[in-house]
Amino acid sequence: MVDEANLVKGCKKNNRKSQQALYDHYCKKMFAVCLRYCRKAEDAEDVLQEAFVKVFTKISSFRSESSLYYWIKKIVINTALNYQRSKLYLYPMVDVNELHYLSEKEFTLNNIHYNDLIKLLQSLPDGCRIIFNLYAIEGFQHKEIAEMLSISVGTSKSQYSRAKFLLKEKILNTEKVLHGKLQ
Amino acid sequence: MESYNKKNKTDFENAWSEALENAEATPDSKVWQNINNELLHADHVRLKGYYKTYKMIAAASVSLLLLAGTAFTYFYIYQPEYKSLQTQTETTEKQPEAIAKNQQNNITEGDKNINKVKKNQEVEESITESLESAQQESSFNQTLSNSDILVQDKADTEKVNNTLVSNSSLPSKAQKLNERAQQSTDDAFHAVSSIDIKKHKLVVFSKNEMALPPKIYQREQKQTPMPNYNQQIVLAEETEEIEIVKRDKSKRFYADVNVLTDYFNPNLELNSPQVNQVVIGQLSSLSEEMNTQLLGQENAPSVSFSYGINMGVKLSGKWIVEGGVSYANYNTQSLSNLAIANVNNGIAMPVTILNRPLIDNETYEATLLDLGNLYTINNSFEFASIPIRAGYIVGLKKINLILKAGVNTGLFLRNEISANDDALEPYVNKPNDSESPFRKVHLNGLVSNEINYALNQNYSFSVAANYRFALNSLTKEGENINSMPDSYGIGMVFRYHFN
Q: What is the ipTM of this complex?
A: 0.82
Q: Please give the pLDDT value at position B433.
A: 82
- Report CB contact under 8 Å: B39, A105: no
In a domain, A152, yes or no: yes
Instruction: Give the closest-approach CA distance of B393 to chain A in angstroms.
Output: 49
- Report CB contact under 8 Å: A31, B24: yes
Instruction: Give the closest-approach CA distance of B269 to chain A in angstroms.
Output: 28
The answer to whether residue B43 scores a pLDDT higher than 90 is no
Return the sign of the alpha-carbon dihedral for residues B65, B71, B72, B77. Answer: positive
Q: Please give the pLDDT value at position B226.
A: 58
- Report CB contact under 8 Å: B12, A107: yes
In a domain, A62, yes or no: yes
In a domain, A107, yes or no: no
- Report CB contact under 8 Å: A139, B5: yes
SS (H, E, C) B138-158: CCCCCCCCCCCCCCCCHHHHH
pLDDT digits (tens, 9 = 90+) for B177-214: 667 666 655 665 555 444 444 445 555 555 554 444 55
Give contacts of B369 with chain A, Cβ < 8 Å: none
Give contacts of A168 with chain B, Cβ < 8 Å: 12
Residue of A nearest to B16 (CA): A137
Residues A100-126 have a mean pLDDT of 73
Q: Please give the pLDDT value at position B330.
A: 92
Query: A120 and A82 in one domain?
Result: no
In a domain, A105, yes or no: no
Give contacts of B34 with chain A, Cβ < 8 Å: 49
Fill in the DSSP letter of residue B120: P
Interface test with A, best of B16, B32, B34, B289 (most A CBs within 10 A): B16
Query: A68 and A27 in one domain?
Result: yes
C-alpha pair distances (Å), A94 with each of A69, A156, A159, B172, B177: 33, 9, 8, 96, 98
- Domain range enclosing A127: 114-182
> In 3-state terms, what secondary structure has residue B410?
strand
| CB-CB contact of B103 with B167 (8 Å) | yes
Query: A49 and A10 in one domain?
Result: yes
The answer to whether residue B166 scores a pLDDT higher than 90 is no
Instruction: Give the closest-approach CA distance of A60 to chain B in angstroms.
Output: 15
Q: What is the CATH number of the domain that holds A154?
A: 1.10.10.10
Q: Does B423 touch chain A (CB under 8 A)?
A: no
pLDDT digits (tens, 9 = 90+) for A44-100: 999 999 999 999 988 988 887 778 899 999 999 999 988 877 665 545 555 555 445
Angular region, B296: left φ>0, alpha ψ -120 to 50, beta rest: left
How far apart are the C-alpha atoms of B344 and B346, rounded to whole Å? 6
Query: A77 and A34 in one domain?
Result: yes
Q: What percentage of chain B has pLDDT greater than the value 70?
A: 52
Which of A45, A53, A139 shows the shortest C-beta gap to B27? A45
pLDDT band at B19, cuts 50/70/90? confident
Residues B235-245 have a mean pLDDT of 49
Instruction: Give the closest-approach CA distance of B19 to chain A in angstroms.
Output: 6
- Report CB contact under 8 Å: A109, B4: no
Q: Does B45 touch chain A (CB under 8 A)?
A: no
Which of A20, A48, A114 shows the shortest C-beta gap to B19? A114
Task: With CA atoms as reference, report the closest residue to A17 among B377, B368, B372.
Answer: B372
Q: Please give the pLDDT value at position A61.
A: 87
Query: A122 and A77 in one domain?
Result: no
Which of B15, B35, B42 shows the shortest C-beta gap to A23? B35
Query: A79 and A118 in one domain?
Result: no
Q: Please give the pLDDT value at position B445.
A: 93
Query: A8 and A82 in one domain?
Result: yes
Residues B240-264 have a mean pLDDT of 70
Give contacts of B371 with chain A, Cβ < 8 Å: 20
Interface test with B, best of A99, A114, A143 (most B CBs within 10 A): A114
Residues B78-90 have a mean pLDDT of 43
C-alpha pair distances (Å), B429 with each of A133, B47, B112, B426: 60, 25, 77, 10
Query: A71 and A23 in one domain?
Result: yes
Angular region, A85: left φ>0, alpha ψ -120 to 50, beta rest: alpha
pLDDT digits (tens, 9 = 90+) for B95-107: 444 444 444 444 4
Which of residues B185 and B481 earns the better pLDDT score?
Answer: B481
| CB-CB contact of B88 with B165 (8 Å) | yes
pLDDT band at B274, cuts 50/70/90? low
Instruction: Give the closest-approach CA distance of B35 to chain A in angstroms.
Output: 6
In a domain, A104, yes or no: no
Q: What is the CATH number of the domain that holds A72?
A: 1.10.1740.10
In a domain, A106, yes or no: no
Interface test with A, best of B31, B370, B376 (most A CBs within 10 A): B31
Domain end marker among A53, A88, A123: A88
Residues B461-486 have a mean pLDDT of 88
Residue of B nearest to A139 (CA): B5
> Total domain count for chain A?
2
In a domain, A98, yes or no: no
| CB-CB contact of B233 with B346 (8 Å) | no
Q: Please give the pLDDT value at position B180.
A: 65
- Number of Cβ within 10 Å of residue B26's Cβ equals 10
C-alpha pair distances (Å), B95 with each of A78, A168, B169, B381: 75, 100, 9, 68
Residue B204 Cα to chain centre, angstroms: 32
Query: A176 and A140 in one domain?
Result: yes
**How do beta strands B364-368 and B441-454 pair?**
unpaired
- Report CB contact under 8 Å: B39, A115: no
Query: A136 and A74 in one domain?
Result: no
The answer to whether residue B410 scores a pLDDT higher than 80 is yes
Task: With CA atoms as reference, report the closest residue to A134 among A157, A167, A117.
Answer: A157
Q: Does B25 touch chain A (CB under 8 A)?
A: yes
Which of residues B465 and B477 earns the better pLDDT score?
Answer: B465
pLDDT band at B81, cuts 50/70/90? very low
Residue B35: is it exposed, middle or buried by C-beta count within 10 angstroms (0-12/13-18/19+)? buried
Residue of B nearest to A29 (CA): B24
| CB-CB contact of B374 with B43 (8 Å) | yes
Highest mean pLDDT: which range of B125-139, B246-260, B296-310, B434-448:
B434-448
Instruction: Give the closest-approach CA distance of A158 to chain B in angstroms.
Output: 15
Fill in the DSSP letter of residue B438: B
In a domain, A99, yes or no: no
Query: A25 and A80 in one domain?
Result: yes
How far apart are the C-alpha atoms of B206 and B143, rounded to whole Å? 15
Which of residues B178 and B325 earns the better pLDDT score?
Answer: B325
Task: With CA atoms as reference, report the closest residue to B408 among B391, B386, B441, B390.
Answer: B386
As a whole number, the mean pLDDT across chain B is 69
Which of A16, A110, A115 shows the shortest C-beta gap to B373? A16
Query: A141 and A80 in one domain?
Result: no
- Report CB contact under 8 Å: B12, A135: no
